[in-house]
Structure 1
């Protein structure tokens, strides 16, 4: 499904997003400039400005693209699973991989601290993910615990606060996954 997302945005925007993602991962949000994004993307600054007139617009577009790509990957994995709790399991795994690998969605979301205008963009995606978790045929309490645990783990790791040791992290993820397999709970 990623191919559909890529083709929907156009080749130039895809190049700009890939370049911006790379810059964010290497230099952080302060290292991302429109001129640098254009240069790394191999497009003129005017070409970039045609799509994004400010750094905030570029970050908002990148955040939307990355969040949409993330959601599609989770949805595809959940559909392959097909069992109750599938979306929650896929969300847990994809989120933990994003944080662990320092992937682009994590880098973009981390920019929220310096670009608070991006918060509504992220909030709309987070609300959608909450809805999808709640439709996952699990008790609402369980999906709420999973959501906050996953977000807390991600935040802790992205910010480098008190990351879990690898064994603790694996056990924590396994516990969350087990919660998605429990049945017989009422909503």
Structure 2
């Protein structure tokens, strides 16, 4: 038995969908309410303004990031490999929230950019604790960020073969081998 999302969750989901599909200018309060299937008054009950709606999205992103940090810290393959392995856009709830927030960060929303900076710094600290070399930790971050950007922008999937697939897809296993080589070079 599945539970129906609350009106607040539907509003946040509608806001994310509008940001992803149509951009920040299209994500008006009226459009969000209509997409969520609630009245504007219902939306305003949960989010008093567009700024409050954005704050709700940022809070959701931070909560999901905290869960991700915990999973990353416990990953048996290490934080660096976890970061690269999970940097392939998979359409998860966290992925969609990040992409929606990125659409806002591309504008002049310093609140969203600050949240991204904090999350990114936490990922970096976890990877640095694993790798111990700041330059290699930064390279791992850039590798993961590039994978995410590539997948989110171009929709290129991951695959289990060697190098790039015939469709330009990314071989994550090969990249994890690169992480191993970078990490072992840092430890030498």
Query: What is aligned with 2:28?
Result: 33
Contact 2:20 2:103 in 1 (8 A): no
Query: Does structure 1 residue 52 correspond to structure 2 residue 47?
Result: yes
Query: What is aligned with 1:14?
Result: 9
Structure 1 unaligned spans of 5+: 1-9
Query: What is aligned with 1:170?
Result: 170
Query: What is aligned with 1:131?
Result: 125
Q: How far is the alpha carbon of 1:32 from its aligned partner?
A: 1.0
Alpha-carbon distance in structure 2 between the residues aligned to 1:143 and 1:116: 28
CA 1:21 to 1:87, structure 2 compared with 1: closer, same or farther past 3 Å?
same
Query: What is aligned with 2:187?
Result: 186
Query: What is aligned with 2:99?
Result: 106
Query: What is aligned with 2:160?
Result: none
Contact 2:80 2:131 in 1 (8 A): no
**Larger helix share, 1 or 2:** 1
CA 1:137 to 1:157, structure 2 compared with 1: closer, same or farther past 3 Å?
closer
Q: How far is the alpha carbon of 1:144 from its aligned partner?
A: 0.7
Q: How far is the alpha carbon of 1:145 from its aligned partner?
A: 0.2
Contact 1:110 1:158 in 2 (8 A): no
TM-score using structure 1 length: 0.70
How many residues of Structure 1 are paired with residues of Structure 2 in the alignment? 172
Query: What is aligned with 1:69?
Result: 64
Alpha-carbon distance in structure 1 between the residues aligned to 2:126 and 2:187: 18
Contact 1:63 1:105 in 2 (8 A): no
* Cα deviation digits, residues 62-104 of structure 1 (max 9, x gap): 133135325524643663x423xx22222223222258xx734
Contact 1:17 1:62 in 2 (8 A): yes
* Cα deviation digits, residues 115-162 of structure 1 (max 9, x gap): 4322112222222222222222453322210112322343455456xx
Contact 1:74 1:91 in 2 (8 A): no
Alpha-carbon distance in structure 2 between the residues aligned to 1:175 and 1:74: 24
Alpha-carbon distance in structure 1 between the residues aligned to 2:174 and 2:56: 35
Contact 1:56 1:115 in 2 (8 A): no
Structure 2 unaligned spans of 5+: 158-163
Alpha-carbon distance in structure 2 between the residues aligned to 1:26 and 1:153: 21
TM-score using structure 2 length: 0.69
